[in-house]
Structure 1
Amino acid sequence: MSPSGRAPRQLHLNINALHSGFVPSAWRLADADPRAFLDVNHYVRIAQIAERACLDAIFLADNAAIADQLDFRPITALEPTLLLASVAAATTHLGLIATASTSYNEPYNLARRFATLDLISGGRAGWNIVTTADLPSARNFGLDAVPDHAQRYARADEFAALVKTLWNSWEDGAFIGDKEAGRFVDMARVHAAAHRGRFFAVQGALNLPRSRQGHPVLVQAGASGDGRELAARHAEAVFSASQSFDEARAYRDDLNARAARHGRGPNAVKVLAGLTTIIGATEAEALRRRDELVDLIPWSYSLNRLAGILGVSVDTLSLDERLPDDLPPPGNGNGNHTFFNATLAQARAHGYTVRELVRALAGGGGHRVIVGTPEQIADDIAHWFERGAADGFNLMPDALPGGLEAFTEGVVPILQRRGIFRREYDGTTLREHLGLAIPADGRAVLQHEYA
């Protein structure tokens, strides 16, 4: 206990299982399996490594299209809730967070899918809410263009509110199962959604009760004003892409201020900053590993990926020149704001040329990269955590599973010795890991603005 009598604040760590690893060339390493992105056992192994180290959760991204350069690298391919059902069977404590889009799903089906994962895992599920801004996905669902940014977020807001209503449509005592009396469910304690709004109409209650944690944890990522408002209204944890300490602290403060305006308590939203780690026994060894990985990436791939993030033609990028001045947000403001802002911030802060920027990002897409020893990485994590820039980190090791093993065997013991990360799980649900309260049961009435 701290001198105030309260339990000390605990660091949160998730593993973002990006198929072969964060660096695009990870699949080319000697010990890597090129088919790992299709192998459930690959993800189970990652999850079991994370659970042995008492990490909070495994997180899976998702795409509804071939959104990367498949001729060079693996992509996010397996549907995440199905994959996490297999991971749930092979683990006992680790949280299970899957991404699903509000643009290309319906609330009832998605609520049922995540409630099922939550029940079969004993209350370990989380839903990462995304609105999906890429054109290939839009075209796969019969659209000629990506829906307008404001419309996507308005739909996501109503979607999330309706999903919560469905998850909470059973009161906790609704299930009776009384054989002698012949009473199975008390239908007076099961409440229909009875919703008809701008985007959705759902009449009935969910056909599943709540789990041990109430309902799945709501997670979100978004740097735009609309994204922050969505998080402030609904999210219980947020994945950020801040590149600097000051930017990260300002983001966390802004998010909590927005949440407070919606009647939520202080620090209602856990902020988990994206962090890529490249680890070596010495700093020089770690830098060599980074350079070897980056040198395995064709420059054509890196330039095309960077151009896609920035929303510019690849012809406007020159390896030994800085980024063009006054770059507008991609898609006239209708693209992915998070990675655009993070990448631009990194380039401007250091005055990087395009070549230097690609190397600093380890060929990746905008998340912060630390290259160093376990002690250096632990120092950086502790600095951000203890000084209020983040509540934890969404880890993206350079390669999987090796980069995760390097982190759990090298960095985690240092964090444990410093008393900021757990040595064992205190509970079994994702909410218990994150220190989140169980939401109230019973009918959650949709607010009038959705009508």
Structure 2
Amino acid sequence: MTNPRQPHQPRQLSLNAFLHDTGHHEASWRHPESSAERAHDIEFYVEQAQKAEAAKLDGVFFADIPGLWAATPYRPTAHLEPITRLSAMAARTEKIGLIATASTTFHEPYNLARLFSSLDIISGGRAGWNIVTTQSEAVARNFSLATMPDPAERYARAQEFIDVVTKLWDSWEDDAVLADRDSGRYFDPDKVHAINHVGRFFQVEGALAAPRSPQGRPVYVQAGSSNEGRAFAARNAEAIFTAHQTLGDAQAFYDDIKSRAARFGRDPGHVKILPGISPFLGDTEQEAKELQQYFNELTVPAYGIGQLESLAGISLGHLELDERVPVELFAGSGDVLDNNRSRLQVVANIVERDRPTLRQLLHRLAGGRGHNVVAGTPLQVADIITEWFENGAADGFNVMPPLYPQLLDAFTAGVVPILQERGLFRTEYAGSTLRDHYGLPRPDSLYAATAAATTA
């Protein structure tokens, strides 16, 4: 087991580029300099990954649901499948981590284990799996389901799913492949294990049809902040993507997850908390704010209202755009039962704290869907990242540029050098795998550990 971070080394930020077609602002595609015509061009995404790698970022990340994100003509909604996309990008990059979203509700463990194992092998150990359970009723109807299972059922399936893929990824021990021409044996059959899993949701014999990958297992990433999601993340995740608007909220989440992980007997340092940040950057703060306002003026209110109504399960048709949003519309949002409700709590907090008009609320959500949108100079954005990192709110960030490639370029050229000068971010990669970048150990095979204990 290896861990590139030595005890005497200072703690370092982790930074991912969250790739999202033309950018994270919902109106980014309408910007006159957007790459809207390249939303399905693999070269466009290769270019962004290469830029992120040149800046020594930890990884690139794709969110995904197996269906249209929204049945609306107001923004790009059809996306390439992320594992396929990252496999193509792996051939054109060398060090950058490659993180794809895949649902435990709409995959089978054996197929998904093969896909991610292949990505990890192809990339030389750079794969990460963002584990989601999916909650869209529209997606359920794509998979012959009349309705989605409830959150408790989805997370029960997810836990068994991850147990199965873990055993599959470990089913070949690291030294199982012999390639011994003299004896005629390609592998040692004593080191390739049928997993013989029989559970509530899955019956899987195994072993996996691939040897153990460079990282042992892809990095386990999770993005749920619901009650079930937090428990699942604390038990399983090695990196957690989350959304917070304030330092205090982020600190409370950080403390909660780290404490839960410790109760599961895990090292809290091996659970990376990575909030989203969507920066509008300018040479002056005023310039950055004017850029943000320009983007907001490109939004289509009907789209934002539809998204918010879907999230909240309420009608907003009776409100004028410049009317204050009543706090009582979001009553009960604090009962965080699923991920929709947890994101809704972020919205409810904005309404209660800032008392925005409907137009102002739509603009607040247009840039990052509840993630922290900031507008300022590179120094101001670097100060925010530093404050959260040094005050128990984040181990790093998912960087969500409002416009690709321009505002990714602005971030890597302006913010990253400041973080490097402060000694908070690498100037060169210390290793070649995503686990190396995150400072995570390479896990031993469950079966190798069992064999070692038996012979001890």
Code of the residue aligned with 1:304 in structure 2: it is G
Of 399, 411, 415, the residue aligned with 1:411 is 415
Aligned to 2:174: 172
Of 213, 216, 220, the residue aligned with 2:215 is 213
- Any stretches of 5+ residues in structure 2 without a counterpart? 1-5, 451-456
Aligned to 2:349: 345
Superimposed CA distance per residue, residues 251-297 of structure 1 (whole angstroms, 9 cap, x where no aligned partner): 11111111111111232310000111111111111111111111111
Identify if the C-alpha distance between structure 1 residues 99 and 25 changes in structure 2 by more than 3 Å, giving closer, same or farther: same
The answer on 1:109 being equivalent to 2:106 is no
The answer on 1:388 being equivalent to 2:392 is yes
8 A Cα contact 1:175 1:186, kept in partner: yes
Shift of 1:311: 2.3
8 A Cα contact 1:69 1:301, kept in partner: no
Superimposed CA distance per residue, residues 10-47 of structure 1 (whole angstroms, 9 cap, x where no aligned partner): 00000010111000111112222323221101110110
The answer on 1:436 being equivalent to 2:440 is yes
Q: Distance in 2 between matches of 1:335 and 1:262?
A: 22
Shift of 1:313: 2.2
Shift of 1:358: 2.0
Q: Distance in 1 between matches of 2:162 and 2:413?
A: 38
8 A Cα contact 1:193 1:203, kept in partner: yes
Q: Distance in 1 between matches of 2:108 and 2:334?
A: 27
Superimposed CA distance per residue, residues 408-427 of structure 1 (whole angstroms, 9 cap, x where no aligned partner): 00100111111100011000
Q: Distance in 2 between matches of 1:298 and 1:370?
A: 21
Shift of 1:207: 1.1
Aligned to 2:183: 181
Aligned to 1:449: none
Identify if the C-alpha distance between structure 1 residues 281 and 403 changes in structure 2 by more than 3 Å, giving closer, same or farther: same
> Taking structure 1 as the reference length, what is the TM-score of the superposition?
0.94
The answer on 1:242 being equivalent to 2:244 is yes
Identify if the C-alpha distance between structure 1 residues 126 and 279 changes in structure 2 by more than 3 Å, giving closer, same or farther: same
Code of the residue aligned with 2:399 in structure 1: it is L
8 A Cα contact 1:172 1:442, kept in partner: no
8 A Cα contact 1:303 1:317, kept in partner: no
Q: Distance in 2 between matches of 1:323 and 1:85?
A: 47
Shift of 1:445: 10
Superimposed CA distance per residue, residues 121-165 of structure 1 (whole angstroms, 9 cap, x where no aligned partner): 000000000010111101111111121111011111111111111
Shift of 1:58: 0.3
8 A Cα contact 1:20 1:37, kept in partner: yes
Identify if the C-alpha distance between structure 1 residues 120 and 332 changes in structure 2 by more than 3 Å, giving closer, same or farther: closer
- Name which of structure 1's ranges 22-31 and 352-361 shifts more when overlaid on structure 2: 352-361
Q: Distance in 2 between matches of 1:172 and 1:121?
A: 17
8 A Cα contact 1:279 1:374, kept in partner: yes
The answer on 1:398 being equivalent to 2:419 is no
Q: What is the RMSD of the two structures over their aligned residues, measured on CA atoms? A: 2.0
Shift of 1:5: 6.5
Of 352, 366, 372, the residue aligned with 1:368 is 372
Shift of 1:308: 1.8
Code of the residue aligned with 2:143 in structure 1: it is F
Code of the residue aligned with 1:108 in structure 2: it is Y
Shift of 1:65: 1.3
Q: Distance in 2 between matches of 1:336 and 1:309?
A: 6
Q: Name the SS of the counterpart of 1:411 in structure 2.
A: helix
Aligned to 1:322: 325
Code of the residue aligned with 2:82 in structure 1: it is P
Superimposed CA distance per residue, residues 34-80 of structure 1 (whole angstroms, 9 cap, x where no aligned partner): 23221101110110110000000000011111122430111251000
Q: Name the SS of the counterpart of 1:281 in structure 2.
A: coil
Shift of 1:361: 3.0
Q: Distance in 1 between matches of 2:318 and 2:104?
A: 33
Q: Note the 1:6-405 alignment, pairs <5 A.
A: 6-315=8-317, 317-319=319-321, 320-325=323-328, 326-329=330-333, 333=337, 336-405=340-409
Q: Name the SS of the counterpart of 1:49 in structure 2.
A: helix
- Name which of structure 1's ranges 271-280 and 315-324 shifts more when overlaid on structure 2: 315-324
Aligned to 2:431: 427
- Any stretches of 5+ residues in structure 1 without a counterpart? 447-451
Q: Distance in 1 between matches of 2:255 and 2:334?
A: 26
8 A Cα contact 1:223 1:337, kept in partner: no
Q: Distance in 1 between matches of 2:355 and 2:327?
A: 12
Q: Distance in 2 between matches of 1:422 and 1:207?
A: 37
Q: Name the SS of the counterpart of 1:423 in structure 2.
A: coil
8 A Cα contact 1:165 1:444, kept in partner: no
Superimposed CA distance per residue, residues 203-233 of structure 1 (whole angstroms, 9 cap, x where no aligned partner): 1111111222211000001111100111011
Q: Name the SS of the counterpart of 2:317 in structure 1.
A: helix
Identify if the C-alpha distance between structure 1 residues 233 and 321 changes in structure 2 by more than 3 Å, giving closer, same or farther: same
Q: Distance in 2 between matches of 1:141 and 1:296?
A: 35
Q: Distance in 2 between matches of 1:113 and 1:433?
A: 22
Superimposed CA distance per residue, residues 179-223 of structure 1 (whole angstroms, 9 cap, x where no aligned partner): 111111101111111111111110111111122221100000111
8 A Cα contact 1:111 1:167, kept in partner: yes
8 A Cα contact 2:225 2:339, kept in partner: no
Q: Distance in 2 between matches of 1:42 and 1:327?
A: 43
Identify if the C-alpha distance between structure 1 residues 66 and 323 changes in structure 2 by more than 3 Å, giving closer, same or farther: farther
8 A Cα contact 1:310 1:340, kept in partner: yes
Q: Distance in 1 between matches of 2:146 and 2:271?
A: 35
Code of the residue aligned with 1:183 in structure 2: it is R
Q: Name the SS of the counterpart of 2:230 in structure 1.
A: helix
Identify if the C-alpha distance between structure 1 residues 139 and 334 changes in structure 2 by more than 3 Å, giving closer, same or farther: farther
Code of the residue aligned with 2:33 in structure 1: it is D
Shift of 1:364: 4.0
Q: Distance in 2 between matches of 1:346 and 1:444?
A: 50
> Matched residue pairs, number?
443
> Taking structure 2 as the reference length, what is the TM-score of the superposition?
0.93
